[in-house]
Homo-oligomer: A and B are copies of this chain.
Amino acid sequence: MILKKPALYTDLYELTMAQGYFLSGRHQQTASFDYFFRSLPFDGGYVVFAGLGDLLEIIRYFRFHPEELEYLRSQGFKEEFLSFLKDFEFKGSVYSVKEGEIVFPNEPILRVEGTIVEAQILETVLLNTLNFASLIATKASRIKQAAGDHAVVDFGLRRAQGLGGLQASKASVIGGFQGTSNVLAGKMDDIPINGTMAHSWIQSFEDELTAFRTYAEHYPDSSILLVDTYSTLKKGVPNAIKVAKELEEKGHKLVGIRLDSGDLAYFARKSRQMMDDAGLEYVKIAASNQLDEHLIKSLLDQGAPIDLFGVGTKLVTAYDDPALDGVYKLSSINGKPTLKISENEEKVTLPDSKKIIRYFNEDGSFYSDGIALNDEENPSVIYHPYIAHRSTIVSELESEELLHNVVNKGEIMIDPPTVQESAEYARMRLSKLNDEHKRFDNPHVYKVGLSKKLRELKIELIQNA
């Protein structure tokens, strides 16, 4: 986390509401809020949850510092409330699915319990953190899925949305990327860093061969030569072959070449042929230039012999769907369940504290999820959220509860997951999600149902309203 003082990274209304609760003596009311999203990005079938590690850091550092209080004073906040903020620490509890978990719309994937002020005041920074990390981890997992066993590396920093680039690189690795070009992300989160060379390196030399030779001299075992500066097939690849042969004579090996323009399938095939003819079967081909999951799938479907994909803009900005619509909604106040009604049936929220139960098929793959009240037994039947006659029997299935107590009355209960741990968990969980939910075109909808009690409570509260 680069943001060591997260308390003001928030919408003003969180603070004006907090002051309102405080001044009207209502700040000790207890509340619980759910984090969930309503629709799946990229016309896809799932989301990879990420950002929990960062959120735990935010909670750890959540304090109002003197210069922050001074700023709030200048904005008209009252002295008695500023005194309250001065001593403020988050003493609530957080229940969350694991970072890397595969999750679906309307599931309460994270719940915050505490006083109304401490639960409310986290809203904006929590949404900002979880929405973006989950969006990018999901995009990355799709790209990795298209690439199969081929390596995918994040090259997106230059087009990332400002400092969002830091979080994007981390989330990419959680989603299945093997590394990033982003050095600071590498340092902060212990992620492998990778890179090749720019056109400017080559242009700064008298000719391409000298540029390649000089680079290879200093990086005899880690050079990937960019071959498209002048002419990929007439100059770039022949020069790379020459340098590879010179490296061989000195007992080294050229790692690869990089293609960054033109028809990547055509150039990859031609380059592969030229290098193979020269006995350089071991030299890899890296490709970049506006890649995403669809383009990578198309290249591999065409049999393009590309070993490594550098993915930039389309990954780090989630170009085709640049925001996850995650929200944070009140589900109970002073122990009393509440919901937000809406004329749009899908936008009615779920009341009260809940758990998520995942049910498994006999082969260990995910069957469906159920949402139940926290204090009821795991249900034997789950029901469609609002279509009356739809239900499914789950009593015979293996099951697992997904929410874990990660912060208890202010105390952080887990070691924040490392990027590699979350990546491994996501990989393992994705392998249990059946292919029909993972395909890019019209993925099959994964079933998420409600317990009878939860559905009845929801209907009762709607009727009362």
CB within 8 Å of B: which residues of A? 2-3, 8-17, 19-21, 23-24, 26, 29, 31, 33, 68, 71, 75, 116, 120, 123-124, 127-129, 131-133, 155, 157-168, 181-184, 186-187, 193-201, 203-204, 214-215, 217-219, 229-230, 261-262, 313, 317-319, 322-326, 329-330, 333, 338, 340-343, 465
Contact = CB atoms under 8 A, between A and B. Distances in A.
B17 A201 contact: yes
Contacts of A326: 158
Contact of A319 (B29, B183, B322): B322
Contact of A162 (B168, B194, B329): B168
A155 B23 contact: no
A26 B329 CA distance: 59
A240 B101 CA distance: 43
Most chain B CB atoms below 10 A, which of A128, A155, A182 = A128
A195 B322 contact: no
B340 A203 contact: yes
A229 B465 CA distance: 11
A181 to B, nearest CB: 4
Nearest to A210: B24
B8 A159 contact: no
Contacts of A319: 322-323
A103 B187 CA distance: 36
A215 B116 contact: no
Given A29-B204, A465-B230, A198 B13 contact: yes
Contacts of A203: 330, 333, 338, 340
B161 A132 contact: yes
A182 B337 CA distance: 30
B3 A195 contact: no
A120 B197 contact: no
B157 A161 contact: no
B12 A183 contact: yes
Contact of A164 (B164, B182, B196): B164
A196 B20 CA distance: 12
Nearest to A179: B12
Contacts of A217: 24
B8 A184 contact: yes
Contacts of A204: 21, 26, 29, 31, 116, 330, 333, 338
A189 to B, nearest CB: 12
A200 B329 contact: yes
A185 B110 CA distance: 27
B322 A158 contact: no
Contacts of A168: 161-162
A311 B397 CA distance: 46
A137 B64 CA distance: 30
7 contacts: A15-B183, A128-B157, A128-B159, A131-B159, A162-B168, A203-B333, A204-B330
Given A204-B333, A333-B203, A158 B12 contact: no
A193 B16 CA distance: 11
Contacts of A8: 183-184, 187
Contact of A161 (B31, B199, B322): B322
B194 A12 contact: yes
A340 B24 CA distance: 66
Max chain B C-beta neighbours (<10 A), residue from A181, A193, A322, A325? A322
Given A123-B158, A157-B11, A187 B20 contact: no
Contacts of A323: 159, 161, 313, 317, 319
B219 A2 contact: no
B200 A120 contact: yes
Nearest to A290: B325
A171 B186 CA distance: 28
Given A13-B198, A195-B11, A127 B163 contact: no
